[in-house]
A and B are shown apart, each in its own frame.
Chain A
Amino acid sequence: MTTKSVIARPERTTRVAPSVLVGIGVFAAVGVYVLVNSIELGLWTSLGPGPGLFPFAMGGVLVSMSIVWLLQELRRPTETPEGVDRGLVIAVVVSLAILAAVMDLLGFQLSMFLFLMYHLKLRSGRTWTSSLIIALAGSVGAFYAFNYGLNVALPVSAFPPLNLIGL
């Protein structure tokens, strides 16, 4: 990232990018949902402003700004920046979701060890030695540092055999 790349601006184009249209649609839909939900919550009570008043205002802002944005895009479309590395996004998001799903079952040490091994050995192709050292430090090392050094409890496995051996 250089100074030049940091301050680069997207170029102008002639058509509204599909991703921009989807984005505007999603924001408008969220705004409408909030408006409807806020009315159900109650805008005003006998005691004064109700729980729905403030969200209602925000829903209104979201819907109106989405409309203004759409009009701006139709008049002068902006080109969205180049796409992301989908492989990276999928690998990171899916591995994180699996880690979160199994962390309470397998415990922090085992699940984080496997997570780090996946990223270091499988994804990045690092050597077995460096992968094992880093994965052990990041799982077992972090567990003991947080549990005993900082008094912050990370989860242990819900399975008795793993639990009994301290995992």
Chain B
Amino acid sequence: METLNELLGGFASAMTWQNLIFAFIGCLLGTIIGVLPGIGPVAGVALLIPLTMNLDATGAIIMLCAIFYGTAYGGTITSVLLNTPGEAASAITTIDGYAMTKIGKAGAALTIAAVGSFVGGTIATLGLVAAAKPLGELGLLVGPPEFFALMVVGISLLVALAGKSMVKAVISGALGLLIAMVGIDPVAGAPRFTFGMDRLLDGVSFVAVIVGVFGLSELLSHRKGAATPTVHAPNFRSLLPTSREWRRSAPAMARGTGIGFGLGLIPGMTGSVSSLLAYGAEKKFSRHRNELGKGAIEGVAGPETANNSHANAALIPLFTLGIPASPTIAVLMGAFLQQGLTPGPTLFTEHSEIAWAIIASLFIGNLLLLLLNVPLVGLWTSILRVPPSILTALILLFMVIGAYTINFSVFDVFVMIGFGLLGLALRHLDIPLAPMVLTLVLGPLMERSLRESLEISQGDFGIFVNRPISMVLIAIGVLIICSPMLKLRKPKALMEDPET
């Protein structure tokens, strides 16, 4: 009952006209980012953080969350109409989505994808509502050693699941932690890795690093020959699926919701894995599995429901434990921290009103996206007709503004350029970028909890194994890291995960 009251209070706050506008703008921008093939959700969310800098914390996070799940909706459009995923989590949708376009059923595919995304996103948000209080209260019981151990598990999972080589993933994670350590040491006050530059005393701008590593490097890694695609928006009548298509989609949506929700809770699992597994589930359980690959509606409904369910479920570990489950959520966490909010159990005690307003806005945002996406499909497809050279110039414009406005310093633009080149090198060496962004955000928190733990124990590392919760968590982390030695095989879907 208390939860319901707090949720209703959250709705009251989220439904002020200002917050509704922020949610609307966020959905709009998120969809555009999702539609544009050149820019992924991680860089997209980071890039738009400056837009929210002068907003109040609630409005800023509502807008950024809307951008985040808006990308999941937008990515579908290009997958279905162009056979080109706007973002990696929609890659598998191209198979049946584009096949449906070829047989003149693009409208039905887009509508089912939007409805599936709404269903998956809304059910996952209900899960967040149910889990928020109990998990948050549980989180309050943990001290610095348990918090450190929890982060070890989160990072271990991401490192173990990212990319094909764990060695490269560990290097990526270590680089992120080292970048996070640049600046004044929070405990002793000593400058670290500043190379004598005063501008680095406050550390490296998180937004500049993310925009460089994910956005600029993506743009730099493009090859010649990208032409403006020919795309036709389906007319309004064709947007309505038949009753048979609705009936066939319902079980696929149910399976997709379950898969996306379950995997969204696990740090390191990306939306792409959920979509791939949801497609796999359709291949196994769908009554019409023999039609998959030839334009079966289940091949759109399952993966699209799964990736949105995943996106919303991934907010549960962030809100309740302060652990980001994916790179995009790590960027969101960075935005929370910049607004003076620490995600985790204390969020519900110290900033309860804001936390519930954001949760309520997730329901509103999902509804807005459903209403925006299908009727405005013509607008989204017109964005795709913009020539790549113009898009590149405009993306560069936003990158410069994004990097500059964090500290109002051109130094951060240089930081972005430097990290863009680093990102390009990492891509060239096939080093996954996801662990880096996670450790970049978690680094300072992780170091603080390690040092607080050791101060409590007067330097005895045994504190991590003497306390039962931290002992179990550390054991899980070690097991995950040692999994290659134990010959534990990574699931095929993870090996093929384009997001990592």
Residue numbers of A with Cβ under 8 A of B are 1-3, 6-7, 9-10, 19-20, 23, 27, 30-31, 34, 37, 41-42, 44-45, 47-55, 58-59, 61-62, 65-66, 68-69, 72, 78, 80-81, 83-85, 88-89, 92-93, 96-97, 99-101, 103-104, 112, 115-116, 119-120, 123-124, 126, 130, 134, 138, 142, 146, 150-155
**B451 and A10 contact, CB distance less than 8 A:** no
Contacts of A34 in B (CB 8 A): 178, 193
**A89 and B424 contact, CB distance less than 8 A:** yes
Q: Could you mark each residue 148-189 of chain B with 1 if its beta carbon is under 8 Å from any beta carbon of chain A, else 0?
A: 000000000000000011011011001101100100010110
B2 lies within 8 A of chain A by Cβ: no
- The interface stretch among B216-224, B344-352, B359-367 is B216-224
* With known contacts A19-B428, A93-B420, A138-B394, A54–B181 Cβ distance under 8 A: yes
Determine how close the nearest CB of chain A comes to the CB of B414; give it in whole angstroms: 5
**B429 and A80 contact, CB distance less than 8 A:** yes
* With known contacts A69-B167, A103-B413, A152-B50, A93–B428 Cβ distance under 8 A: no
**A7 and B389 contact, CB distance less than 8 A:** no
**B389 and A48 contact, CB distance less than 8 A:** no
**B91 and A6 contact, CB distance less than 8 A:** yes
B205 lies within 8 A of chain A by Cβ: no
* With known contacts A49-B451, A55-B193, A97-B414, A146–B401 Cβ distance under 8 A: yes
Contacts of B51 in A (CB 8 A): 150, 152
* With known contacts A7-B496, A58-B174, A62-B174, A152–B54 Cβ distance under 8 A: yes
**B170 and A61 contact, CB distance less than 8 A:** yes
Docked complex Cα distance between A27 and B170 (Å): 12
Docked complex Cα distance between A102 and B167 (Å): 41
B302 lies within 8 A of chain A by Cβ: no
Docked complex Cα distance between A132 and B496 (Å): 44
Q: Which of B167, B424, B455 has the most CB of A within 10 A?
A: B167
Contacts of B202 in A (CB 8 A): none
Docked complex Cα distance between A59 and B175 (Å): 9
**5 tightest A-B CB contacts, nearest first:** A124-B389, A51-B185, A100-B413, A6-B498, A119-B393
Docked complex Cα distance between A97 and B420 (Å): 12
Contacts of A2 in B (CB 8 A): 83-84, 94
B405 lies within 8 A of chain A by Cβ: yes
Q: Which of A58, A84, A116, A152 contacts B393 (CB 8 A)?
A: A116
Contacts of B430 in A (CB 8 A): 10, 78, 80-81
B92 lies within 8 A of chain A by Cβ: yes
B88 lies within 8 A of chain A by Cβ: yes
Docked complex Cα distance between A8 and B54 (Å): 43
Docked complex Cα distance between A134 and B92 (Å): 35
Chain B residue at minimum C-beta to C-beta distance from A44: B459
Q: Could you mark each residue 410-445 of chain B with 1 if its beta carbon is under 8 Å from any beta carbon of chain A, else 0?
A: 100110110011001101111000000000000000
Determine how close the nearest CB of chain A comes to the CB of B229; give it in whole angstroms: 12
**B455 and A47 contact, CB distance less than 8 A:** yes
Q: Could you mark each residue 378-396 of chain B with 1 if its beta carbon is under 8 Å from any beta carbon of chain A, else 0?
A: 0000000001011011101
Docked complex Cα distance between A100 and B51 (Å): 20
* With known contacts A55-B178, A84-B221, A96–B170 Cβ distance under 8 A: no
10 contacts between A and B (CB under 8 A): A3-B85, A3-B91, A7-B496, A19-B429, A42-B188, A55-B181, A84-B223, A96-B400, A142-B397, A155-B408
Chain A residue at minimum C-beta to C-beta distance from B37: A1
Docked complex Cα distance between A115 and B417 (Å): 15
Q: Which of A3, A31, A55, A142 has the most CB of B within 10 A?
A: A3
Other A-B contacts than A58-B177, A61-B174, A119-B396, 7 sampled, CB-CB below 8 A, are A34-B178, A48-B451, A49-B455, A51-B188, A93-B421, A96-B396, A155-B404
Q: Is the interface of B mostly helix, strand, loop or mixed?
A: helix
**B414 and A92 contact, CB distance less than 8 A:** no
Chain A residue at minimum C-beta to C-beta distance from B405: A152
* With known contacts A6-B88, A99-B413, A85–B393 Cβ distance under 8 A: no
Contacts of A66 in B (CB 8 A): 171
B66 lies within 8 A of chain A by Cβ: no
Contacts of B451 in A (CB 8 A): 48-49, 53-54
Determine how close the nearest CB of chain A comes to the CB of B400; give it in whole angstroms: 7
**B454 and A49 contact, CB distance less than 8 A:** yes
Chain A residue at minimum C-beta to C-beta distance from B54: A151
Docked complex Cα distance between A81 and B427 (Å): 9
Chain A residue at minimum C-beta to C-beta distance from B83: A2
Contacts of A99 in B (CB 8 A): 400, 413
Chain B residue at minimum C-beta to C-beta distance from A31: B174
Determine how close the nearest CB of chain B comes to the CB of A25; give it in whole angstroms: 12
Q: Could you mark each residue 91-114 of chain B with 1 if its beta carbon is under 8 Å from any beta carbon of chain A, else 0?
A: 110110000000000000000000
Docked complex Cα distance between A29 and B217 (Å): 23
Determine how close the nearest CB of chain A comes to the CB of B497; give it in whole angstroms: 8
Chain A residue at minimum C-beta to C-beta distance from B188: A51
